[in-house]
Amino acid sequence: MSRRTSSVFTTIAVILTFLICVEVQAQNSRPGFVATSEVVTGGILGSNPTIAAGLNELLAERLLTSPFLLEVADLDDPTYTNDDNITLNAFGGFDVDGDSSNNGSGSNAFAIDPTSFDENTGVPVSSFPDGTIVDGHMVAGPGTIIVGGIPLNGLTVEADFTPGTLTGVYEFQSTPTDAFLTQDFLATQPAPAPFAGTLVDLLNTFNIFPDTDADSDGVNESYSAVFEFGGISCDLYYSYHPRADGFVATSQVVTGGILGSNPTIAAGLNDLLASNLDNFPFLLEVADLDDPTYQDDGDITLNAFGGFDLDGDFTDNGDGFNDFVIDPLDYDQVTGEPISSFPGGSLTAGHLVAGPGTIYVSGIPLNGLTVEADFFPSTLTGVYEFQSTPTSAFLTQSFLITQPAPAPFAGTLVDLLNTFNIFPDIDADNDGVNESYSAIFEFGGISCGLYHTGAAPGTGPSEDCSNGVDDDGDSLADCDDPDCFSDPACNIGGIQFRRGDVNSDGATNIGDAVSLLGFLFSGGTAPGCDDAADVSDDGAINIADAIYELGFLFSGGPPPPPPGGNCGIDPTDTDSLECASPTGGC
């Protein structure tokens, strides 16, 4: 599922389908692993080279679209070398940036599929307790993993952990592990070329039949398989139970502003908006709600998010019952609060007024925005719909220049706008130059279910920042744990900052790269914290830092070195650079 890298107009905040939020990841995530290889090496499915080769191609493709995630919980040794009591949890999930090509980077982020947790207890469904790690070799289980809806019990997993080439990044490789694949699942998969039919048809052709009675009903319905899998470090965001009520946008159109002034331009934009809503859900939550009929409530907050369609089928978005996982990067990575939030709202006779609030467009805050919409019951019990009033916003030229013009036009959307003599009319960043295009939007939607994401639920102990123990089980102890970055014991000998927050506004976005380039070449304001501007942490401030930051924000490059997006001191304070004042929020 593509999220941030290939969208035409990424819909992740109220009104602006085009919002690009590039906050760096911090304490709301937990360390984990993503599988980068999975192969069948034995069992009845590995008994024939042709069958095994076809299955391994299928498995490789599925790892790119359906991530296989692992978490070593209750870990006291963050180097994965020696620990006498760990739990291995296995999950499905969603690639946060939508770019599977960087799964092997060691720093990619994933939101865990909420169906990977028991909806009543909130604990992982596939869990292997009572594990140990000795000299990097992990043995976990026996435990249970769910395959095709059938529990595989009594499974023990073994794997070896090794340091990667990047600091703090680890890799793993499993030993051969017995499992199975159900006939029902394989019957849904096409046989690889040049064969026709399904994988079950192909297996029958080779006289390979089910040899495992996984559900213990006396009939073999599954095929035995021996798997080996490997992977690398990643960041994991938990999804919260219970399911919350929300809304998904099913329509969004440009009706005014300079982008709505030309019928051809407006029609092209609206076609793109409609297509974008299918792939990049635009989600709303009316929080602090006391009236579940959305008619009268004197104090509500409207939150806006992007997210992931839980069943991957956008055709049922309008049925009133579809479920979505919220994009974890739509929360402030320090406070955990929604980035696009409209407080102080009210509902009167079904008419909502919320705000003023703030959303971020290409890293630029749009402040003082008020949203109005009308809510009304649908024909289905418990399902509601909404329709907004016209709402003013803008789109930046720097974003539109990255988007292709719709057929039959060539070039970018900016080229097309220039052809129609439509030029920026908004100075969104208040620098005296218009760099954005005004637009008026109207949007509507229907009820859905929302699963919030973020740090793991706080059911365990909090981190003691000075006892040498990982108290909260997030694999980080004392001052290495982001929970401790504001603790006085962890702020000895330096001023706290976020690396990459050049303009000290508390966020890392394109504005920081612009600020740094302005300082270097145009006499712009000097950074308040030199260490924050040393984005690559090479001990100097130069154009390479701006390139590094832009690569991270837009090209899948590595994140800024520690403290990264967390508030902290410089762990490599051996250069001449100083931090005169903390960056925003530190």
Are 155 and 144 in contact by the 8 Å Cβ rule? The answer is yes
Instruction: Provide φ and ψ at 233, rounded to 5°.
Output: -55, 150
- Locate all alpha helices (DSSP H) within 481-527, ordered by sequence: 510-521
- Bond preceding residue 142 cis, omega within 30 of 0: yes
pLDDT tens, 547-559? 898 888 887 788 8
Other CB atoms within a 10 A radius of the CB of residue 71 amount to: 25
Are 19 and 360 in contact by the 8 Å Cβ rule? The answer is yes
**pLDDT at res. 455:** 64
Are 172 and 230 in contact by the 8 Å Cβ rule? The answer is yes
Q: Please choose, from the candidates 96, 216, 203, the residue with its C-alpha nearest in 3D space to the C-alpha of residue 153.
A: 216
**pLDDT at res. 313:** 85
Q: Please choose, from the candidates 302, 312, 267, 250, the residue with its C-alpha nearest in 3D space to the C-alpha of residue 13.
A: 302
* Spatial distance between the Cα atoms of 325 and 374, rounded to a whole number of angstroms: 25
**pLDDT at res. 351:** 98
Is residue 114 classed exposed, middle or buried when 0-12, 13-18 and 19+ CB atoms within 10 A define those classes? buried
**pLDDT at res. 12:** 22
Q: How far is CA 391 from CA 239, 273, 370, 394, in A?
A: 31, 16, 8, 10
Length of the chain: 586
Domain ranges of the chain: 30-236, 244-454, 491-554
**pLDDT at res. 23:** 33
What is the DSSP annotation of 288-323? S-S-TTSS-EEEEEEEEEEEEETTS-GGGGGGS--E
Is 491-554 a domain of CATH 1.10.287.130? no
**pLDDT at res. 528:** 87
Q: Which residues of the chain have pLDDT under 70?
A: 1-28, 146-154, 358-368, 455-463, 471-476, 479-494, 572-573, 585
**pLDDT at res. 22:** 31
Q: Please choose, from the candidates 436, 466, 459, 254, the residue with its C-alpha nearest in 3D space to the C-alpha of residue 361.
A: 436
Which two three-digit tokens encode residue 136? 């990097």
